[in-house]
Amino acid sequence: MVNRVKEALGIEKPVIQGAMAFTSLSPLVSAVSNAGGLGVLGLGYMPKDASIAEINKTKKLTEKPFAVNAIMQEGIVEQADEVLAATKPPVVYADAMRLNGALCQKYFPRWHKLGMKIIVKASYLADAVTAEKAGADLVVVKGWEGGGHVSFESTMALVPQVVAAVNIPVVAAGGIVDGHSGAAAFALGAEGIEMGTAFLVADELPINDKAKQAIIAAGDMATAEVSYANDAPFRMIANNLSDQIKDLEATHLKAEAAQKEAGLDAKTIKMGMYQGDTQNGAIMVGQDLSLIKETKSVKQIIADVLQDTKNVLHSLENVEL
């Protein structure tokens, strides 16, 4: 049986590495692509020249397909379009908390004409339907179990709804780090998986070792979902920063809190990930981080998750109902 995710993207394994702003850059992205998955550059709000340079670095490190995320918001997507036109990466990873259909209709045909495949990350059923109508090649459906910006619905609730509503391939994201969660994704109807948190402890990811050790040391109930004021909540390891954001939103009107939180994620991600300030910086992770016990190479992470997924799916054949 042909896997449509692998076929659409030209990859060997149905694994996509989540776009993580300021974190998933050329070292990690190239390692994922070289291991047979699809690495995704999390360029976020990076300046144009820096974005082009990072894409060119990635091209030097891998000859395999990789993706570049484009934030589908007016005032932001215009620069992404210029970067994509200048560099022509194999795949565009269109990213937005609420998808703007008009922007998709405007840019997707242009990107396809330039030879790029288009992935859309959807946090809502309506966004997945919009993505298909606009011509997306596949959709990543991310539930609230994931790290970083998340949905208001769980992966388990969201994925089967999207599978029933669209004809393009669906990739499940949010809460996937091992064989059990991987098998669950395929059981829900997904044809591939996206992982972010699992790759944060990859040997090839050059973040501060204190951040990696904080992830490995974390147990269950170790995350906090914050920043509702901007209607773009994100999940991170609970710490002083998450407590401060919760206090801010509890003591200020929504508009005031949103203004004070503007740009907070960019600054605090760098503090947490690169400076190793695990109490005052942001380490954005999913709820399943307690299952991560050690650092590994990207190749080993992918191999272990896929093999364990196969083992779990095989074991389910013996379940008596």
Q: Where are the domains of the chain?
A: 4-205+293-318, 209-289
Give the highest mean pLDDT range of 81-85, 241-245, 260-264: 81-85
| Closest by CA position to 15, among listed 291, 236, 298, 314 | 298
Per the CB < 8 A criterion, the answer to whether 28 and 202 are in contact is yes
pLDDT tens profile 225-243: 888 777 777 888 999 988 8
3-state secondary structure 163-217: HHHCCCCEEEECCCCCHHHHHHHHHCCCCEEEECHHHHHECCCCCCHHHHHHHHH
pLDDT value of position 231? 73
Per the CB < 8 A criterion, the answer to whether 122 and 172 are in contact is no
Per the CB < 8 A criterion, the answer to whether 202 and 34 are in contact is no
Query: For the domain 4-205+293-318, what is the CATH superfamily, name and number?
Result: Aldolase class I (3.20.20.70)
State the pTM of this model: 0.94
Beta bridge partners of 224: 236
Q: What is the mean pLDDT of residues 316-320?
A: 88
Angstrom distance (rounded) from CA 122 to CA 119: 10
Angstrom distance (rounded) from CA 194 to CA 182: 9
pLDDT value of position 89? 98
Sheet containing 223-226: order of strands:
148-149, 234-237, 223-226
Beta bridge partners of 223: 237
Per the CB < 8 A criterion, the answer to whether 134 and 166 are in contact is no
Q: What is the mean pLDDT of residues 181-196?
A: 98
Mean pLDDT taken over the chain: 93
